[in-house]
Amino acid sequence: MRSILFASFLYITIITASAQNKAVFTVQADKPAAEISSTMWGIFFEDINQGADGGLYAELVKNRSFEFDNPLMGWKITSSTFQWGINFGSEITVINQKEKEATNPRFLRVSMDKIQKGKLGISNEGFHGMGIKKDLRYDFSVLYRQPTSNAIIHIELVNEKGDIIGSNILKPNQTGNNWYKAETSFIANGTEAKANLNIWFEGSGQLDLDMISLFPSDTWKGRKGGLRADMVQMLADIKPGFIRFPGGCIVEGRDLSTRYQWKKTIGPVEERKLMINRWNTEIKDRPAPDYYQSFGLGFYEYFQMAEDIGAAPLPILSCGIACQFNTGELAAISDLDPYLQDALDLIEFANGSPKTKWGKIRADLGHPTPFNLKMIGVGNENWGSQYIDRLKIFQAAIAKKYPTIKLVCSSGFMASGDVFNYLNGELRKMKISFIDEHYYSSPKWFLDNAKRYDSYDRKSSSKVFVGEYAAQSVATTDMNNKNNWRTALAEAAFLTGLERNADIVQMASYAPLFGHIEGWQWKPDLIWVNNLKSMGTPNYYVQKLYGTNRGNYTVPILYKNQQPAAGEDSLYATTAIDKESNELIIKIVNTLGKNQTAEININGASKIGASAKWTILQNNNLEAENSLTNTLELVPVETNTALKGNQLVLDLKPYSLNILRVKL
């Protein structure tokens, strides 16, 4: 009898304990809460970390137009003529015509005196080498000018060992005082991440060369002179709602003269004036003396890419204040016109009919239909009353000419403190459509701030654009920051709070986007690349899971029948409904290093599917990272789980992001 009593006591104790330990959620599927904007999850592109030149822009030749401050940076002259006295008359010089030609004043002059192949040439090192793929076609082109026709150009791609892995011969045949373009293609017979391009000259006479270029043929959509397909594909896979470009601090410039000027980035590439990249010297521990902006990826290409990947374009322009971390130079209010005009003309460029001046320029570039621009950013991380004074002028002028265009404005470089409070207050008074908040903080900050927007002013017409954020494993701009699971999991948890507050937060983007494994200045970054491939970090997969599981409106998910879970028992949750597929999308993040049993009761839906698609991103080790060379530690895994009536019982793994899709 005693043993029966003891056994039933034990049984009751176990049942009660497990009921207590179970994390019980209640979804109210019939209570639409907030509409989720189609722009909710987007991307932020800046030419930092070799993001454009040497990254997304597929040009393999560095300093192709000899316009770097050091005109031969990236090039080597390979000449045996001077050293050995053979063909002494042959030489290679750089000519600068800046009095006549301001945009692309320099070119190379090759003077040949019966030179033979292998005696006089140039070699380009690419961007930390050139990524070359076996059996792929490479397109070489050059602008040339020669009084008589005689020269032969030998093109060779060599691997790190010096073996030739692709070659061709080009005979420029036009003569006279004009510049011509010569092109040729060849197939590579080897794969190499760090190839160099050698060019040998043969013949006699004078040959002028400029815009020496080599592109792979497998660019995004096969566009000549286009973008690296693997990198664009990574972006497309996120299904981004918007793309913000071209930055970041490069929008503002170190001083006003080095601000990003979109009009100088469209049209023929040889007429796009090259400029030093701000990240060239910005980070003291990672100097990048060869970091320039060729603008081969310019504003037309940005709009085109946005359209290709189905993302709403969000260009950001200078407001007339240079980066306040640098010179903070101001354009006087009376001199603001060119800045203002740039913004107005950009809207016409994007949306105007081909009968307008800038609409015609767009049409002539190949896009007669508008790009459907709906919003524009003025100022990146600007602050102070000078910013507000200038913004008011932009706001009035843009609203007058384009009343439906929404303005995106900065609330500074931190999302708290005096700078933020002042701007946040002023921008709301001005009824600015989107206030751009930036935070680079610790994983703990992200976990602690999952409720940040629960208490935001819901009466204000201004919405939030979380324009730049990333959990920092060490500290902002620290060279040892990592894209580990600790940071990504904290972001995943934090994003539940953005989705739950989708009536307030309507856009969010991780920053920075790309990091080249050798050419980076800032860590962490969403996607890491080398010269041949790209790799999604754990943070990338979090973004991708949110982007591909967006839903159209939120419905409440209560924890223990009370609040939404935003940290209680280390759990974070949000729920949305996808109208098109008629699915309930539940996101639960378990930040505890142990399994947790979750019971989810779905109320308010008359019919529910018998099973749910369950996607899990998980690792027991918070320090785990993905790598370009090894198997990925963190990738989403898909499975299915059965429902019991309207109930899901899940064993949530330690440190996991779980996404469930249930048919309604």
Which residues of this chain interact with ligand AHR, rule CB under 6 A? Answer: 46, 48, 247-249, 380-381, 413, 468, 511-512, 522
**Separation of CA 613 from chain center:** 29
**How are beta strands 534-536 and 527-529 bridged, if at all?**
antiparallel
Using CA atoms, how far apart are residues 534 and 514, in angstroms rounded to an integer? 9
Compute the least distance from the CB of residue 48 to ligand AHR, in Å. 6
SS3 of 449-498: the string is CCCHHHHCCCCCCCEEEEEEEEECCCCCCCCCCCCCHHHHHHHHHHHHHH
Compute the least distance from the CB of residue 368 to ligand AHR, in Å. 34
Reduced to 3 states (helix: H, G, I; strand: E, B; else coil), residue 522 is: coil
Compute the least distance from the CB of residue 231 to ligand AHR, in Å. 17
Compute the least distance from the CB of residue 230 to ligand AHR, in Å. 22
Give 130 or 511: the residue with its C-beta nearer to ligand AHR.
511
Residues in a beta bridge with 120: 79
**How are beta strands 242-245 and 312-317 bridged, if at all?**
parallel
Give 521 or 615: the residue with its C-beta nearer to ligand AHR.
521
Amino acid identity of 346? L
- Residue 315, judged by CB atoms within 10 A of its CB (0-12, 13-18, 19+), counts as buried
Output helix, strand, coil percentages for the chain, rounded to the nearest 5.
25, 35, 45
Compute the least distance from the CB of residue 525 to ligand AHR, in Å. 9
Phi, psi of 315 (to 5 degrees): -75, 145
Give 249 or 275: the residue with its C-beta nearer to ligand AHR.
249
Compute the least distance from the CB of residue 411 to ligand AHR, in Å. 12
DSSP 18-74: HHHHSEEEEEETT----BPPTTSB-EE--S-TTSTBTTTB----TTTTS-SSSTTTT
**Nearby residues of 600 by Cβ (< 8 Å), 6 or more positions away:** 25, 26, 27, 557, 586, 647, 648, 649, 650, 660
Compute the least distance from the CB of residue 46 to ligand AHR, in Å. 5
Active-site entry in 67, 252, 329, 381: 381
Give 251 or 605: the residue with its C-beta nearer to ligand AHR.
251
DSSP 149-173: S--EEEEEEE-TTS-EEEEEEE---
Written as six digits, the tokens of 209 are 């060369």
Tell me whether residue 625 is one of the annotated catalytic residues.
no
By the 8 A CB rule, do 415 and 383 touch?
no
Using CA atoms, how far apart are residues 596 and 22, in angstroms rounded to an integer? 7
**How are beta strands 375-378 and 312-317 bridged, if at all?**
parallel
Compute the least distance from the CB of residue 524 to ligand AHR, in Å. 10
Give 515 or 556: the residue with its C-beta nearer to ligand AHR.
515
Amino acid identity of 283? I
Compute the least distance from the CB of residue 511 to ligand AHR, in Å. 4
Give 121 or 377: the residue with its C-beta nearer to ligand AHR.
377
Cα 559–Cα 560–Cα 564 angle in degrees, nearest 5: 20
Residue nearest to ligand AHR (CB): 248
Written as six digits, the tokens of 651 are 């064993």
Give 61 or 511: the residue with its C-beta nearer to ligand AHR.
511
SS3 of 614-628: the string is EEEEECCCCCCCCCC
Using CA atoms, how far apart are residues 634 and 543, in angstroms rounded to an integer? 13
- Report, as residue numbers or ranges, the catalytic residues: 381
